[in-house]
Amino acid sequence: APPAVLAMIDRPCRSSAADATSAEAPPAFRLVPARSPQLRVTDLAVTRGDGIFESATVRDGVIHSEERHLHRFARSAAMLDLPEPDLDVYRAATRAAVAALDLPPGAEAYVKYCLSRGDEELTDVGPIGWAYATLSGDFTAARTEGIAVVLLDRGYARTVPATSPWLLAGAKTLAYAVNRAAVREAVRRGAQDVVFTTPDGYLLEGPTSTLVLRIGDTLVTPPPEVGVLPGTTQEDLFASLDDLGLRGEERDVRVPELAAADAAWLMSSVRLAAPVNAVDGVAVPVDHELTARINELLQTRTG
Ligand code: PLP
């Protein structure tokens, strides 16, 4: 098994911090053997997927986009009416896990951190969290040759964040079984990944990634208001567009714009920018040069 480090976060939320100031308070988190059993079978993350998570890239001991991820973690918690996570505790726990991972220079790793609402039985215990750091897979092929995608209707109108916030569109919850099912459907159709669409013909995102199109000298991505997760990778890229001589635009994007685009990518923290090379079985152009520049930029970001 690859090297891994696990930090259990016993005091993940500000509301559980009443005792945090007292001198005898136990530490907010502790490193435990990475593959030791920790969760009870009655944990709400297990029984209902009722919790939230983040996954951030780690390179040379640095957590990329650390603050964007922490900010989004708090946003997801608010969307689920979870107690506010203590971001100082999560920052310390994730950094401790990453430091203990001790990887060679240039190795790509990631840290995934979670917050569970608690336990069905242990109602007095409240939320618990954890942070798990380990080596990343090899995404070279996806980053260079690209990925074939299929368009799948997510069935939600692009107005759901406003009309039906209980659907949690755009929250990073631990309930990703639907996202996994969509990828299996893509594989059944001979592709590797998915671009979700709305019933009224708009593009959304991938099951674990943000959709970005290049149309001329503009990079276009659907806005969070349509029910997509705000992507940290896309945000980092859009913050560096001057370096690439491109402009950025967040706007509603119609389905036909994907096949007509000059280039398209699915972007995410760990896989980075994977160029789309086919849509529903039809080849689309890959901008190899820009893809390489984007991935180089993303690999060297630290902020
Ligand atoms: N959209 C969804 C549904 C995701 O799960 C993810 C990441 O896992 C993303 C977009 C991309 O977000 P990020 O770039 O922060 O990894």
Q: For residues 256 and 125, state if they share a domain.
A: no
- Judge whether residue 208 has pLDDT over 80: yes
Domain shared by 282 and 146, yes or no: yes
Task: Convert 186-201 to b/e letters by CB count within 10 Å (16 or more is b).
Answer: beeeebbbbbbbbeee
Q: Would you say the ipTM is above 0.95?
A: yes
* Torsion angle of the four alpha carbons 290, 294, 300, 301, in this order, in degrees rounded to the nearest 10: 150
Nearest atom of ligand 1 to the alpha carbon of 270: 16
pLDDT digits (tens, 9 = 90+) for 157-184: 999 999 999 999 999 999 999 999 999 9
Rounded Cα–Cα distance for residues 100 and 72 (Å): 25
Residues of the domain holding 171? 141-299
- The reply to whether 119 and 145 lie within a common domain is no
Residue range 229-258: mean pLDDT, rounded: 97
Give the helix ranges, DSSP H, for 149-279: 160-163, 177-188, 232-239, 241-244, 256-260
Report pLDDT for 303: 59
H/E stretch holding 33: none
Q: In the predicted model, what is the mean pLDDT of the chain? A: 95
Can you give the pLDDT at residue 26? 84
Instruction: Select from 111, 137, 163 the last residue of a domain.
Output: 137
As a whole number, mean pLDDT of residues 108-123 equals: 96
CATH code for the domain in which residue 266 is found: 3.20.10.10
268 CB less than 6 Å from ligand 1? yes
- For residue 263, the model assigns a pLDDT of 98
Query: Phi/psi of residue 145, each to 5°?
Result: -75, -30
Burial 135-173 (b: 16+ CB within 10 A, else e): bbeebeebbeebbbbbbbebebbbebbeeeeeebbbbbb
| 74, 127: one domain | yes
- End-to-end Cα, the chain, rounded Å: 30
pLDDT of 217 reads 98
Confidence of residue 227 (pLDDT cuts 50, 70, 90): very high
pLDDT digits (tens, 9 = 90+) for 264-275: 999 999 999 999
Nearest CA residue ID for atom 1, ligand 1: 209
55 shares its domain with 120:
yes
Ligand 1 centre distance from Cα of residue 125 (Å): 30
Q: How many domains in the chain?
A: 2
Domain of residue 26, CATH code: 3.30.470.10
Whether residue 121 sits in one domain with residue 145: no
Same domain, 224 and 256: yes
DSSP β-ladder status, 193-197 and 205-206:
unpaired
Same domain, 155 and 109: no
The distance from CA 119 to its chain's CA centroid, rounded to whole angstroms, is 24
With cut-offs at 50, 70 and 90, classify the pLDDT of residue 192.
Answer: very high
Residue at a domain's end among 78, 103, 137? 137
Indicate the residue among 103, 137, 171 that finishes a domain: 137
Atom of ligand 1 at shortest distance to CA of 234?
14
67 and 216 share a domain? no
Q: Does the pLDDT value for residue 113 go beyond 80?
A: yes
User: Mind listing the pLDDT tens digit for each residue in 7-35?
Assistant: 999 999 986 555 555 667 789 999 999 99
Q: Same domain, yes or no, for 30 and 70?
A: yes
pTM here? 0.96
Expressed in angstroms and rounded, the spacing between residue 123 Cα and the centre of ligand 1 is 31
What phi and psi, each to the nearest 5 degrees, are found at residue 263? -165, 160
What does the chain come to in residues? 303
The pLDDT of residue 28: 97
Distance from C-alpha of 28 to C-alpha of 13, rounded to nearest angstrom = 10
- Asked if residue 119 has its Cβ within 6 Å of ligand 1, the reply is no
Same domain, 108 and 166: no
106 and 9 within one domain:
yes
